Amino acid sequence: MSTGEGARGNAEKYAKVDRDVLAAMKRPGRAYLAGLAFALLLAVVLHVLWAYQVRSGLGVVGKMHPVMWALYITNFVFWVGIAHSGTLISAVLFLFRARYRTSFNRAAEAMTVFALMVAGLFPLIHLGRSWVFYYLLPYPNQRQLWVNFRSPLVWDVFAVGTYFTVSLVFFYVGMIPDFAAAKQHVLGIRKKIYTALSLGWQGTQKEWRHYNMLYLFLAAFATPLVASVHSVVSWDFAMSIVPGWHTTIFAPYFVAGAILSGTAMVITLVVPMRKYLSLHDYITDGHFESIAKILLLTSLIVTYAYIVEFGLAWYGENIFERETFRYRLLGDYRYFTWTMLFCNSVVPLTLFARGLRRNTAYLFVVSILVNIGMWLERFVIIVTSLSHDYDPYAWGLYKPTFVCLGVDIGSFGLFFTLYLLFVKNLPVLSISEIKEHL
């Protein structure tokens, strides 16, 4: 690149990257607006139903004695799980210098932040008295009431809070050079906003040196969070004495599951995004193949965890544990369990075939199935364990109502609303990094 022609060639390439990526931020088409309107509608449904629930009491959801946790907590764990791959792809793959990361990292980070925002709603929706949610925070108060640090729910507040903060900072820091690039291509109020967000980025050598140090540091800081957040979420269950929950394998099992579901969600989001925004040059089939390998690996880990769980229940001679797993496999919720096993353990095995790994349409279908499977996994763990625990008199069946189903669907609406807004307003690929790799 020492010749002037080379430099000119690069400049052209850089301009093309700017054009292509920032083209995504042009005026939206009809399809986009329709999609956004639909997602927004669902998000409104969520809030209306929540208001209805607060007004009437939690009785409007299907929860009962003994299944006190059900869809809301399922969704919480599901969305926290989705949030997982953002950090994994961004931070961990950054540290490993995995190049294909560049194609996915922005989408994955955005997904993380939005999924966490959605996930964070669920513990609040789920509370019997959500208007006093602040009791859960350790704030100084006159009555010297404090939170119970022995409760995993308090750990949750910290774990998810930390993860959200770090993810948001990481997401933002990664975008600073891109904001600077973007501000040159827009006018009016948007220009002002991007200018403000770019924090006066000039792209000088010194800035880049500091920037790279910060980014590396943040990546290193975020990496342990990949393990910690979902471990802590899994302890919500593992720290209890409910058969089917109380097991030491939960932390790695949940982390693997979270990465599986997060990776699947990344594929679900990026496949249509690439098509709609014509980013085939930047997100290639090879990149998809790499991410599919992560999917396959984590699916194998999750399958291993399933085997261990059932195996221990069978081997352990604990009648409560045994009954819970028998019930999980053969009881009232057996179809959910079987679907879960099919989606999470069987379907991803097809990805051993290279051709299928490179087939984005197929990958899209697999990712949807894995998403369903992972959602069901959380549902199965939560509901089957609670409905058949120690005292047989108190056994009971949970059936969801329109309110919790509506809130569940609405949470997808909220997520996609945020994501669609992201697609049109922020650079969907890391421009600076793509240029770096040119």
Partner 1 sequence: MKRRDFLWLLGVISGSTVMSACGSPNRSAKFTSYLLPPEEGIVPGEASFHPSTCTECPAGCGVLARVREGRPVKLEGIPGHPVSDGGLCVRGQSSLYRLYHPERLRTPMARDGGKLRPIPWEEAFSRVAESLKGSREKGRKNLFLSGRTTGSLSRLADAACERLGIERLPEYEVYSHTGVKEANALLFGERDVPRYRIEESDFLLTVGADLIETYVSPVAYTRSISSARAGGEFLWYHVEPHMSLTGANADRRFTVAPGAERILLSFLLREVVGRRTPKSGLPGELLAAFPETTAEKVSRETGIPTEAVAEIADRLVAAKRPLLIAGGVGTEQPGGLETASAAALIQYAAGAIPERVDFTRSENYRNVGTLQDMEGMSARMGRGEAGVVFLFRTNPVFSLPPRLAFRENLKKAQLTVGMGEFLDETVREADLVLPLSHSLESWGDVEPRRGVVSLLQPVLPPLYDTLTDGDAILSLLGNLPGKGSAGGYRDLLAAAWEKRLGEAGRRRLLEKGYIEETLPSRPVSLDGRRAANGLRDAGPVEKPVKPVLILAPSIRTFDGRSRNLPLLSEIPDPLTTITYGPWISVSPETAARAGLQDRDGVTAASADWKAALPVKVQPGLPDGVFVVYRDALPSPPVRTDRRTGGAVDRIEGVGITKTGKKAEIPILSGSFSQQGRGLIPDPVHLDSERRHKRWTLYPEHEHKVYRWAMAVDLERCNGCAACVAACHVENNVPVVGAGDHLKGREMSWLRIEPFYEKGEVEFLPMLCQQCDNAPCESVCPVFAAYHNPEGLNVQVYNRCVGTRYCSNNCPYKVRRFNWWQHHWPEPSDRMVNPDVQVREVGMMEKCTFCIQRIRSAKDKARDEGRKVRDGEFTTACAQSCPTGALTFGNMLDKESGVYRLAHSARAYRVFESLGTESSVHYLRGRKP
Binding site residues, partner 1, CB under 8 A: 56-59, 62-66, 68-69, 123, 126-130, 132-133, 135-136, 145-148, 150-154, 157, 236, 239-242, 319-320, 323, 386, 389-397
| CA-based torsion, 144, 136, 86, 300: positive or negative | positive
Q: Which is nearer to partner 1, 117 or 136 (CB)?
A: 136
CA proximity to 222, closest of 71, 86, 419: 86
Q: Which is nearer to partner 1, 288 or 398 (CB)?
A: 398
Q: Which is nearer to partner 1, 207 or 332 (CB)?
A: 332
In angstroms, give the least distance from the CB of 270 to partner 1.
36
CA proximity to 112, closest of 169, 197, 157, 70: 169
Tokens of 310: 């059932």
In angstroms, give the least distance from the CB of 178 to partner 1.
40
Q: Which is nearer to partner 1, 85 or 387 (CB)?
A: 387
Q: Which is nearer to partner 1, 72 or 211 (CB)?
A: 72
| Helix pair angle (250-277, 285-315), 10° resolution | 160
In angstroms, give the least distance from the CB of 120 to partner 1.
15
Q: Which is nearer to partner 1, 322 or 435 (CB)?
A: 322
CA proximity to 257, closest of 309, 314, 318: 309
In angstroms, give the least distance from the CB of 313 to partner 1.
15
Q: Which is nearer to partner 1, 85 or 324 (CB)?
A: 324
In angstroms, give the least distance from the CB of 339 to partner 1.
24
In angstroms, give the least distance from the CB of 73 to partner 1.
10
Cβ(223)–Cβ(87) below 8 Å:
yes
How many C-beta atoms lie closer than 10 Å to residue 229's C-beta? 29
In angstroms, give the least distance from the CB of 248 to partner 1.
16
How far from the centroid of its chain's Cα atoms is residue 159's Cα?
15
Q: Which is nearer to partner 1, 389 or 433 (CB)?
A: 389
Q: Which residues contact 315 (CB under 8 A, 6 or more apart)?
A: none
Q: Which helix (H) or strand (E) holds 274?
A: helix 250-277
In angstroms, give the least distance from the CB of 135 to partner 1.
5
User: 27 exposed, middle or buried (CB, 10 Å; 0-12, 13-18, 19+)?
Assistant: exposed
For the chain, how many helices (H) and strands (E)?
18, 0
Per-residue burial over 336-366, b = 16 or more CB atoms within 10 Å of its CB, e = otherwise: bbebbbebbbebbeebeeeeebebbebbbeb
Angle at 349 between CA 345 and CA 351, to 5 degrees: 135
Query: Backbone dihedral region of 29: left (phi > 0), alpha (psi from -120 to 50 degrees) or beta?
Result: beta
Tokens of 236: 């919500």
In angstroms, give the least distance from the CB of 49 to partner 1.
16
How many C-beta atoms lie closer than 10 Å to residue 121's C-beta? 22
How far from the centroid of its chain's Cα atoms is residue 236's Cα?
18
Distance (Å, whole) CA 101 – CA 273: 16
Q: Which is nearer to partner 1, 271 or 403 (CB)?
A: 403
In angstroms, give the least distance from the CB of 79 to partner 1.
18
Q: Which is nearer to partner 1, 63 or 183 (CB)?
A: 63
How many C-beta atoms lie closer than 10 Å to residue 231's C-beta? 20
Cβ(384)–Cβ(324) below 8 Å:
yes
